[in-house]
């Protein structure tokens, strides 16, 4: 059963004429990017009593996710680029850019709605464009 779930999760698809599948898939990529960012930061706090450097977390997540896409999912062109963008840029990057540690060795962070705005705008525009292309393609 776990093998079947893993196969479904690692089978790439660009949802060519399925706008809902595309929207669900890419929204999930962004949510998972956010989740993994929180997980890395929490584990760092748990181990070292401090939050990690945001740039290092971003580079680490980008590297690990790119390796996953290339070695497990194989290069799928635009689908690979979009998955990476939603997971790493919007999910992890938007989260890391929006929160900042108040002081060293503190678990308190401050959130800036202005910092998240560009990521939210690009995420929304990118998602809308992908949905639009698929709706248009399904009408042919």
* Average pLDDT value for the chain: 91
Confidence tier at 12 by pLDDT (50, 70, 90): low
Q: How many whole angstroms separate alpha carbon 100 and alpha carbon 123? A: 21
The mean pLDDT value for 10-19 works out to 76
- Which residues are registered as beta bridge partners of 100? 110
The pLDDT of residue 10: 64
The answer to whether 33 touches 86, Cβ cutoff 8 Å, is: yes
Q: Where do the structural domains in the chain lie, given as residue ranges?
A: 24-127
Helix (H) or strand (E) holding 100: strand 99-101
| pLDDT reading at 11 higher than 70 | no
Q: How many whole angstroms separate alpha carbon 87 and alpha carbon 105? A: 28
| 87 to 84, 102, 108: CA distances (angstroms) | 5, 26, 25
pLDDT per residue as tens digits for the range 72-90: 888 889 999 999 999 999 9
pLDDT per residue as tens digits for the range 114-132: 999 999 999 999 999 999 9
Confidence tier at 15 by pLDDT (50, 70, 90): confident
Confidence tier at 14 by pLDDT (50, 70, 90): confident
Token pair for residue 95?
């989260």
Output b/e per residue, 67-94; b: 16+ Cβ within 10 A: eebeeeeeeeeebbebbbbbbbbbbbbb
pLDDT per residue as tens digits for the range 49-63: 999 999 999 999 999
């Amino acid at each position: 059963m776990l093998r079947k779930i893993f196969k479904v999760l690692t089978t790439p698809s660009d949802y060519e004429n399925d706008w809902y599948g595309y929207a669900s898939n890419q929204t999930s990529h962004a949510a998972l990017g956010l989740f993994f960012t929180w997980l890395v930061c929490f584990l760092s706090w748990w181990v070292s009593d401090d939050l990690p450097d945001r740039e290092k977390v971003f580079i680490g997540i980008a590297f690990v996710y790119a390796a996953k896409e290339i070695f497990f999912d194989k290069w799928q062109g635009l689908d690979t680029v979009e998955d990476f963008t939603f997971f790493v840029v919007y999910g992890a990057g938007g989260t890391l850019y929006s929160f900042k540690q108040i002081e060293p060795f503190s678990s308190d962070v401050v959130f800036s709605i202005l910092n998240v705005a560009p990521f939210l705008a690009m995420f929304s525009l990118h998602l809308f464009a992908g949905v639009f292309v698929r709706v248009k393609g399904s009408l042919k």
